[in-house]
């Protein structure tokens, strides 16, 4: 995602009460305590990795006020837009539940920022497919990430993936299988499947659907190797 550098973005994000910027010295400040940052710490915690311009979170956090939501994004310009979009969506709806935060960081830092079992769902929406074989390790469903996610997820946790990329979908299914995850739902055409009804579209998704492209969808649960966490 290439967005023009906006000089307002960095100061806005650093000061924004909904945004956490994990600087090296306090990267683990909220590890294991994320739920306590919300008005209702008893609610499940759902985390979107690679939030982009934030349409999904802006809508999902209003449609589901009974869930605490965190968006993780590594690039400042889309994150700036995501935070603004949520503010605008909430102003238009006349509702502003305390259930939404953002973390400005690379997903590589997940184990430093989140404790084992802390998240109840992870979303990967239109993650970069990194089509070249030599870049496979960068794909967010590479087994090194799946191992991180398995530790981060609670005992009833799961992971939801949506992608336009057939190759990322197939690669992900293979990685799930090889690492002991169980695929519990899947579709090669989400918008013409029973899962469409509860779907909330992202920016990328809308773009691909408007071109008539099918969206691939997977929901998977991790292997339960809780003893070695
Ligand atoms: C193709 S965009 C999709 C954005 C959004 N999820 C959507 O569906 O419209 C992928 C986003 O993931 C972010 N991203 C990619 N790798 C990441 C990583 N390792 N950690 C955090 N964000 C990442 C990118 O900066 C980009 O904003």
Active-site residue set: 128
User: In 65-157, where does DSSP find H-type helix?
Assistant: 76-93, 110-113, 143-152
Q: What is the pLDDT of residue 94?
A: 98
Strand partners, 201: none
Q: What does pLDDT average to over the chain?
A: 95
Q: What is the pLDDT of residue 22?
A: 84
Ligand 1 atom closest to the CA of 204, numbered from 1? 9
- 229 pLDDT higher than 60: no
Return the percentage of the chain with pLDDT > 90, whole number.
91
Pick the residue whose CA is nearest to atom 5 on ligand 1: 52
Helix (H, G, I), strand (E, B) or coil at 47: strand
pLDDT classification of 2: cutoffs 50, 70, 90:
low
Please state, in angstroms and rounded to a whole number, the distance separating the CA atoms of residues 172 and 146.
10
The upper half-sphere exposure of residue 130, i.e. CA atoms within 13 Å in the direction of its Cβ, equals 13
Helix (H, G, I), strand (E, B) or coil at 205: helix
Instruction: Name the residue of 2, 5, 52, 58 to mutate for ligand 1: max ligand atoms within 8 A of Cβ.
Output: 52
* pLDDT, tens only, 10-30: 999 999 999 999 876 788 999
pLDDT classification of 225: cutoffs 50, 70, 90:
low
- 105 pLDDT higher than 50: yes
Ligand 1 pocket residue status of 209, Cβ below 6 Å: no
CB-CB contact of 113 with 35 (8 Å): no
pLDDT classification of 3: cutoffs 50, 70, 90:
low
- Taken in order of first residue, the domains within the chain and their CATH numbers are 9-228 (3.40.50.150)
pLDDT classification of 5: cutoffs 50, 70, 90:
confident
């Amino acid at each position: 995602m290439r967005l023009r550098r906006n000089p307002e973005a960095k100061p806005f994000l650093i000061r924004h009460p909904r945004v956490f910027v994990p600087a090296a010295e306090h990267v683990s400040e909220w590890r294991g305590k994320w739920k306590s940052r919300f008005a209702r710490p008893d609610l499940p915690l759902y985390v979107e990795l690679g939030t982009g311009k934030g349409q999904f979170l802006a809508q999902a956090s209003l449609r589901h006020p009974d869930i605490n939501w965190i968006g993780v994004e590594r690039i400042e310009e889309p994150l700036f837009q995501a935070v603004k979009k949520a503010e605008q969506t909430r102003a238009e709806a006349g509702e502003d539940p305390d259930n939404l935060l953002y973390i400005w960081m690379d997903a590589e830092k997940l184990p430093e920022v989140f404790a084992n079992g802390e998240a109840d769902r992870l979303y990967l929406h239109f993650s970069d497919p990194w089509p070249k074989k030599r870049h496979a390790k960068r794909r967010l469903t590479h087994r090194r990430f799946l191992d991180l996610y398995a530790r981060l997820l609670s005992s009833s946790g799961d992971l939801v993936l949506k992608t336009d990329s057939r190759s990322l979908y197939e690669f992900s299914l293979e990685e799930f299988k090889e690492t002991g995850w169980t695929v519990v739902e899947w579709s090669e055409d989400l918008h013409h499947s029973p899962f469409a009804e509860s779907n909330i579209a992202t920016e990328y998704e809308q773009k691909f659907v408007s071109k008539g492209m099918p969206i691939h969808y997977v929901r998977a649960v991790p292997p339960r190797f809780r003893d070695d966490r």
